[in-house]
């Protein structure tokens, strides 16, 4: 976020872990303004269901901006028959080109249980290489911890919870009040969601 527009706003860690046929998205609950904690129980991970397709979305940045982007993503998913990659690319194009959207200060992690993407206002649609991705103030701490835990026997949710606990211990803009959503990969695309 630009410090000129939003001085001192911090306070999000969102982590996604894909392992064992499921994707877990975890987000902390802290919102800070400068050195003050404004709220400790924010819910930054949401489940969307456009056209009956389950998608989990975690956001970092301005809440209002993130909700605007999630609403746009839902519309793109409906227009693309639930194809997450296509919807993400279409949203990123709009985000980069539209003067109104270009001013939105947020990032998203989205998954449908198969695809896992990070969307940015710069027009990026990124897929993680190691089945782990993170955004926000404590994102790098959570990412490093999760990557270190991936080779063990822990399932995705346990990895996400441990990594978020490590991030909360290190990053002053991250707390241990988690919202965790799990979405499972369906081997058969026709299987009920």
Task: Quote the tokens at residue 84.
Answer: 């997450």
The conformation of residue 159, written as its DSSP 8-state character, comes to H
Task: Quote the tokens at residue 73.
Answer: 């993503």
- Among 12, 13, 133, 174, the active-site one is 12
Q: Which of 35, 40, 45, 27 lies closest to 10 in space, CA to CA?
A: 35
3-state secondary structure of 173: coil
3-state secondary structure of 115: coil
Q: Which of 121, 115, 108 lies closest to 83 in space, CA to CA?
A: 115
Long-range contacts of range 154-157, CB-CB < 8 Å, 24 or more positions apart? 155/19, 155/20, 155/22, 156/17, 156/18, 156/19, 156/20, 156/22, 156/23, 156/24, 156/182, 157/17, 157/22, 157/24, 157/182
Is 12 part of the annotated catalytic residue set? Answer: yes
CA distances from 54 to 46, 51, 63, 102 (A): 10, 9, 21, 27
Instruction: Tell me which residues are annotated as active site.
Output: 12
């Amino acid at each position: 976020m630009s410090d000129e527009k939003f001085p001192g706003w911090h306070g999000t860690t969102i982590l996604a872990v894909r392992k064992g046929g499921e994707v877990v998205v975890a987000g902390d609950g802290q919102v800070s303004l400068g050195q003050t904690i404004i709220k400790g129980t924010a819910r930054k991970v949401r489940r969307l269901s456009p056209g009956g397709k389950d998608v989990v979305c975690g956001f970092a940045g301005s809440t209002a901006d993130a909700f605007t982007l999630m609403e746009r993503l839902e519309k793109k998913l409906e227009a693309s028959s639930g194809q997450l990659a296509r919807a993400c690319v279409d949203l990123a194009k709009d985000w980069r080109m539209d003067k109104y959207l270009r001013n939105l200060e947020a990032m998203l992690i989205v998954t449908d249980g198969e695809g896992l993407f990070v969307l940015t206002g710069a027009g990026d649609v990124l897929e993680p290489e190691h089945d782990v991705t993170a955004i926000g103030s404590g994102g790098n701490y959570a990412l490093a911890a999760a990557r270190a835990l991936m080779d063990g026997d822990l399932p995705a949710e346990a990895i996400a919870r441990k990594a978020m606990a490590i991030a909360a211990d290190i990053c002053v803009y991250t707390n241990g009040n988690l919202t965790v959503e799990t979405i499972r990969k369906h081997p058969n695309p026709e299987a009920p969601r």
